[in-house]
Amino acid sequence: MSSDRFLRRIGVVSGLVMLAFLAGCQVRPLYSEASGTGERLAAVGFSQPQNRIDQVVRNHLVFLTSGGAGESTRPAYDVKLSAKSTATSILDDEDEDNVSSTGVPVPGRVQVEATYTLTRVSDGQVLKSGKRDVVSLIDVSGQGFAKLRAIRDAENRAARELAEFIRAEIAIALAREPQPQTVWQK
């Protein structure tokens, strides 16, 4: 009898501990209206681009954060963004043109890397900074224009994907921001 009571008490205590643990979990949608993340994303401004890759990443970020409405005229947050791209051959035993002796296209890769810093404009506090990179695979042709076009298309694909990652990280950082307090006046 006493072992049954003991097991029952252990079950009740472990159930209460588990209930207390689960009560501490706060799972909520990232873009819920209550959190205000969507409004904060729309209030993000981006630094001016320095090269073509910066421009592609920036344009896609502006579209993603504003929902297609364009960049904020009075941003509450600022993102300093710098991106670069490198194109390399996957195979090491090929010649300078990255084309095999039979004329078959050679596999290559384009890596787009970006560093960014999210700051609050009102006090200059850095909320998030990071470095991300995305790789896009290509087939490098022996024709000059086809090679350049393949590299540019791969850069564009990688830049758009990179913008998606950066937007998600910015949204997470903005979701952690405290809600502005509403001051009611008579």
Helical axes 52-66 vs 144-175, angle rounded to 10°: 40
What is residue 112's predicted lDDT score, i.e. its pLDDT? Answer: 94
Mean pLDDT computed over 142-169: 91
Whether pTM > 0.85 for this model: the answer is no
Q: Could you give the domains of the chain? A: 39-175 (3.30.160.150)
Strand 77-89's sheet: what is its strand order?
44-46, 77-89, 106-120, 126-140
Find where tokens 């695979």 sit: 137
Range 156-171 average pLDDT: 93
pLDDT for the residue numbered 94: 47
For residues 80 and 38, what is the distance between their CA atoms, to the nearest angstrom?
20
Most confident range, picked from 16-25, 92-101, 128-137? 128-137
pLDDT at 185 over 70: no
Q: What is the pLDDT of residues 97-149, one digit of tens each?
A: 555 556 677 888 999 999 999 999 888 889 999 999 999 998 887 788 888 89
Residue 68 pLDDT > 90: no
Confidence of residue 10 (pLDDT cuts 50, 70, 90): confident
Residue-level pLDDT at 52:
94
